[in-house]
Amino acid sequence: MNWSWILPPSFSTVSGDIDGIYYVILWITGITFFITEALLFYFIFKYRHKEGRKATYDHGSTKMEIAWTMVPLVIVLWIGVVSKGVWDTVKVDVPAAGLEVIVTGKQFEWNVTYPGPDGALGTSDDFETLNELHAPEDQPIVITLRSEDVIHSFFLPEMRIKQDAVPGQDITVWFEAIQPGDYTIGCAELCGIGHTTMGGTLTIYTAADFQAWSSSQAQQQQP
Amino acid sequence: MSTIEQEMVHAAEGGHHDHHELPFIRKYIFSTDHKMIAKQFMFVSLFFLVIGGLLATMMRWQLGYPGEPMPGGMLLPDAMMAPTPNGAIMLPEFYNSLVTMHGTIMIFFAIMPLLVGLFGNLLIPLQIGAEDMAFPRLNMISFWLAVPAGILMLSSFAVEGGAAGAGWTSYAPLSVSGEWTGVYLGQQLWLASLTILGFSSLVGAVNYITTVINMRAPGMTWFRMPLATWALFVTAILILLAIPILAGALIMLLFDQTIGTGFFRPEVGGEPLLWQHLFWFFGHPEVYILILPAMGIVSEVISNRARKPIFGYHSMVLAIIGIGFLGWIVWGHHMFMSGMNPLLGTSFMISTMAIAVPSAIKTFNWLATIWKGDLHLDSPMLYALAFVSMFIIGGLSGIFMASTPVDIYIHDTYFIVAHIHYVLFGGSLFAIFAGITFWFPKMFGRMMNETLNKVHFGLTIVLYNLVFWPMHNLGLQGMMRRIYDFTQYEYLAPLQPMNQFISISVFLLVAAQSVYAFNFFWSIFRGEKASNNPWDSNTLEWTVPSPPPHGNFPEMPVVYRGPYEYSSPESDTDFYPQTKPPPSKPPVQELIPEPVTPTPEGF
């Protein structure tokens, strides 16, 4: 059993920053946790009822109230400011695409459409894969995420990417993988009876290998 | 003179309305007495708490032993379980119904009516010195709307297609059509049931607000009100404002399902995210509806059992109001991954982070209350201290989700399942145990058995943490929530031992609750007889007999001070009831019968 609070390894350009903020929060909350729980247990032990003990008659202290209002406020706002930068990188500022694909969720599969040799989507040389996303490393993969029926959630745990696919909306998702290999595609939003089976594989290639895979697929799928 | 005032005068004159003559049905079934209605809410919601727990047990069987025959599964119909020669295996559609109904029943039919229906009804009139609620008949209606809602909700298990299976959040368009879930009538019963329950809550909220504003006894100023009543008052305002939003959304969804409207159906131009906005605009205040009364209850118990004034009473009140207010501007944090404009994510993150501040204020004030106290560690206090300890964990884990980039990874994983249970079980439910144990003598005139309660407390606090702590770890490994068979994912398959460990802990945790159930019923009939004020408390409910008669107060109480004057140097005992006249200003009627002998020093 894995009782660890360490995150599993991650493989995208932004995942280091996401994990970094996680660890910052883990330190802050972890220290707060130990201090407050220790105080609680210490007080419970020290001030437990004994013959002759009398509680102090004390209504509070404005100074202390101000202290424990301001200190948490400053800390959480700082976490907010740090988080904003990474959030904007992942979700707001989409870089120029190295590869553009369309991912369409439907009960209970992920369809991926690739641009084909002409490099443009929506042309006759587009080709598709089912429950597989193939992509090159070290290039921003820009995905147009769609759904045909209900809400699904496109989850790449190793890339630290998650985005709901909403019917009627085109949502842009991007990531850049840093290492070739096979990774997981999951669905993180309850989407019906077969929700549990809506998984797939993300395969990351070196640029040259991806080129080879892409051309062979394009040829195979030509009518 | 208004009707309320007339009734108050009547009560003050010791009027008892000949209520002892009430026939059985008016006294126990269609009662208008707030204390009886409180008990009715308690019995019904404890029943639902058991149902909700059993649903969780079945869910955990599937997660601990995916695809293995469930013991006793042959007793369930084929629509839920697939029979095999070795036993019955749970079907995914039934798993989805379990996920949905466990959440729905626990939130709407167990925790909310226990906190609001039980403690709101029991405590508000007694703590402010009123003879009953402002609108006793509305109060009765509130309970009798909740009953058919509960029956409708449970009956949905028996209809074709089974109970609702789109999650307690019922996201559209999954919830719009049986085409997507296989559930048709069950989903409509879910909507109808919650709409009716919404009316029940609304009626109750109007009643609580009116009662607190209008019916406080002389001297019961706003800042002499016990924190439980303060919390229930702010909760009632949240209910009054939030429930209409839910009701509107539910009716829109019902129309989408039944008469072909398209509010949430994209194929006819509807907007699925509109459902989420409406649902969470209700749903986040709802989360605070489920925690504020718990905070109030815990404040009462901690101050009383520490024999010490609550630390920072005014900041505690302000924190309750602050949480109530902030609850309206954070709903978007449920929707960071929803496809909502990501720029909005940042503003919702900041407002959500701000919630940490009033939560921290409350926690530090509880800690400071027990500091230099005289702690009586009996069972209500143990449950209340467990609340503080567990709420710290639930509060801190919330900061992870509030941070938008971290939420990308942990959203919709078991991390959030751990978080919500640390707040709702470790928080609200422990407070409910504290509250029921603390006010049990007032409700039934008898004490609960202390030894059995301590056994229950020990088992529950340990097993509870064995269940929910490792769920953080599952979430960090990327295990999604609401998933029927996580072993389908290669990277999650190694998590099976931990899931099995959690499941076994759940079975034991549920079994341990029988100790409390036994103690509860045994003590109603056989518990040690309780005095009027077994906890040496200051607040008004402890000045009247246990249980209080219809009309509560034989004469109108007069309040001289705040509710937490424990260990005051002005009093010769370590408590100082709110109604005890101060020595410097004895009220006239007490002076008359006693002959005044002038001392040599004179007055």
* Pairwise CB contact (< 8 Å): B307 & A55: yes
Task: Using pLDDT thresholds of 50, 70 and 90, give the confidence band for residue A221.
Answer: confident
| Min Cα–Cα distance to chain B from A223, Å | 31
> For the ranges A29-43, B16-30, B184-198, B425-439, which has the lowest average pLDDT?
B16-30
Q: What is the DSSP string of B355-404?
A: HHHHHHHHHHHHHHHHTT--B--SHHHHHHHHHHHHHHHHHHHHHHHHSH
- Cβ within 8 Å, pair B478-A8: yes
Q: Is the predicted pLDDT of residue B596 greater than 80, yes or no? A: no
Q: Please say whether the beta carbons of B237 and B324 come within 8 A.
A: yes
Residue B332 DSSP symbol: G
Does the beta carbon of A107 lie under 8 angstroms from any beta carbon of chain B? yes
pLDDT of residue B150: 98
Q: What is the pLDDT of residue A222?
A: 72
Structure confidence at residue B321 as a pLDDT band (50, 70, 90):
very high
CATH code of B192's domain: 1.20.210.10
Q: Which of A116, A163, A123 is nearest to A144 (CA)?
A: A163
d(CA B538, CA B549): 19
Coil, strand, or helix at residue B84? strand
Across the interface, whether the CB atoms of B167 and A190 are under 8 A apart is answered yes
SS3 B132: coil
**Residue B535, domain member (yes or no):** no
Per the structure, the complete domain to which residue B308 belongs is given by 3-440
Measured between beta carbons, the chain B residues lying within 8 angstroms of A83 are 349, 403-406
Residue A174: pLDDT band with limits 50, 70, 90? very high
Q: Is the ipTM of this complex over 0.90?
A: yes
Count of structural domains, chain B: 1
In a domain, B96, yes or no: yes
* Interface contact B356, partner A, CB < 8 A: yes
Segment 360-379 of chain B within 8 Å of chain A by CB: 360-361, 363-365, 367-368, 370-377
Provide the terminal-to-terminal Cα distance of chain B, rounded to the nearest Å.
Answer: 40
Please report the pLDDT score of residue A220 as a whole number. 87
| pLDDT over 70 at A204, yes or no | yes
pLDDT at A115 over 90: yes
Q: Is residue B458 situated within a structural domain?
A: no
> Which of B402, B405, B498 shows the shortest C-beta gap to A2?
B498
| Contact assignment for B96 to A195 by CB distance below 8 Å | yes
What is the structure's pLDDT at A181? 97
Out of A29, A68, A160, name the one closest to residue B409 (CB): A160
Q: From the list A60, A69, A166, which residue is nearest B339 (CB)?
A: A166
- d(C-alpha B230, C-alpha B563), whole Å: 12
pLDDT of B283 reads: 95
Of A29, A60, A87, the CB nearest to B405: A87
Best A11, A14, A49, A160 member to test B by mutation, with max B CBs in 10 Å, is: A49
Q: Is B53 left (phi over 0), alpha (psi -120 to 50) or beta?
A: alpha
Considering chain B, what is the average pLDDT of its residues? 93
Do the domain assignments include residue B594?
A: no
Q: Which positions ≥6 away from B566 have C-beta within 8 Å?
A: A55, A57, B303, B304, B306, B307, B308, B309, B538, B574, B575, B576
Q: In this model, does residue B380 exceed pLDDT 90?
A: yes
- Measured over the CA atoms of residue B28, residue B33, residue B36 and residue B42, the dihedral's sign is positive
Q: Look at residue B556 and tell me if it is in a domain.
A: no
Any idea which of A117-126, B29-38, B344-353, B580-589 has the lowest mean pLDDT? B580-589
Strand partners, B84: B87
Is B12 within a domain? yes
Is B99 at the interface with chain A, CB within 8 A? yes
Q: What is the mean pLDDT of residues B484-510?
A: 97
Query: Hey, are the CB atoms on A58 and B308 less than 8 Å from each other?
Result: yes
pLDDT tens digit string along A1-40? 889 999 999 999 999 999 999 999 999 999 999 999 999 9
Taking residues B10-37, report their average pLDDT: 73
Chain A residues near residue B312 by CB distance under 8 angstroms: 59-61, 64-65
B181 vs A: CB within 8 A:
yes
* Among candidate residues A99, A4, A25, the one with its CA nearest the CA of residue B399: A25
8-state DSSP, B542: G
Composition of chain B by helix, strand, coil, percent to 5: 65, 0, 30
Asked if the C-beta of A79 comes within 8 angstroms of chain B's C-beta atoms, the answer is yes
Q: Whole-angstrom distance between the N-terminal and C-terminal Cα of chain A?
A: 51
* Chain A from 36 to 75: CB within 8 A of any B CB: 36-37, 39-40, 43-44, 47-49, 53-61, 64-65, 68-69, 72-73
pLDDT in the model for residue B6: 52
Contact across the interface for B473 and A194, Cβ inside 8 Å: no
B7: left (phi over 0), alpha (psi -120 to 50) or beta: alpha
Cα gap B285→B253, rounded to integer Å: 20
Q: Is the dihedral of CA B99, B103, B106, B109 positive or negative?
A: negative
Type of residue found at B466: L
How far is it, in rounded angstroms, from Cα A152 to Cα B117?
37
Residue B35 lies in a domain: yes
B60, pLDDT greater than 50: yes
Q: What is the pLDDT of residue A70?
A: 96
Reported confidence tier of residue B588, pLDDT bands at 50, 70, 90: low
Report phi then psi at B577, rounded to 5.
-55, 145
Q: Is residue A97 scored above 50 in pLDDT?
A: yes
| Cα–Cα distance, B485 to B502 (Å, whole number) | 15
Q: Is B167 left (phi over 0), alpha (psi -120 to 50) or beta?
A: left
Q: What does the pLDDT average to over B335-358?
A: 95
Task: Note the pLDDT tens digit of each residue in B445-471.
Answer: 999 999 999 999 999 999 999 999 999
In the prediction, which pLDDT does B17 show?
A: 47
**Which of A1, A22, A54 lies closest to B567 in CB terms?**
A54
- Pairwise pLDDT comparison (B4 vs A146), residue with the higher score: A146
Residues of B in contact with A57 (CB under 8 A): 308-309, 566-569
Looking at the complex, report in whole angstroms how far the Cα of residue A205 sits from the nearest Cα belonging to chain B: 20
- For B371-392, what is the mean pLDDT? 97
Q: What is the mean pLDDT of residues B477-493?
A: 96
Q: Is the pLDDT of residue B252 over 70?
A: yes
Q: Name the residue in chain A with its Cα closest to that of B496.
A: A1
pLDDT, position B5? 52
> B81: helix, coil or strand?
strand
Q: For every residue of chain A, which 3-state class applies, written as one string?
A: CCCCCCCCCCCECCHHHHHHHHHHHHHHHHHHHHHHHHHHHHHHHHCECCCCCCCCCCCCCHHHHHHHHHHHHHHHHHHHHHHHHHHHHHHHCCCCCCEEEEEEEECCEEEEEECCCCCCCCCCCCEEEECEEEEECCCCEEEEEEECCCCEEEEEHHHCEEEEECCCCCEEEEECECCCEEEEEEECCCCCCCHHHCCEEEEEECHHHHHHHHHHHHHHCCC
Q: How confident is residue B27, by pLDDT bands cut at 50, 70 and 90?
A: confident
Min Cα–Cα distance to chain B from A145, Å: 10
Q: Is the pLDDT of residue B187 over 50?
A: yes
Distance from CA of B387 to the nearest CA of A (A): 12
Residue B14 has which token pair? 């010791």
B591 pLDDT above the threshold of 50:
no
Q: Best mutation site among A14, A27, A28, A57 for testing chain B: the one with the most B CBs within 10 Å?
A: A57
Element (H, E) at B82: strand B81-84
Q: What is the CA radius of gyration of chain B?
A: 25
List A111's β-bridge partners, or say none: A104, A130
In a domain, B537, yes or no: no
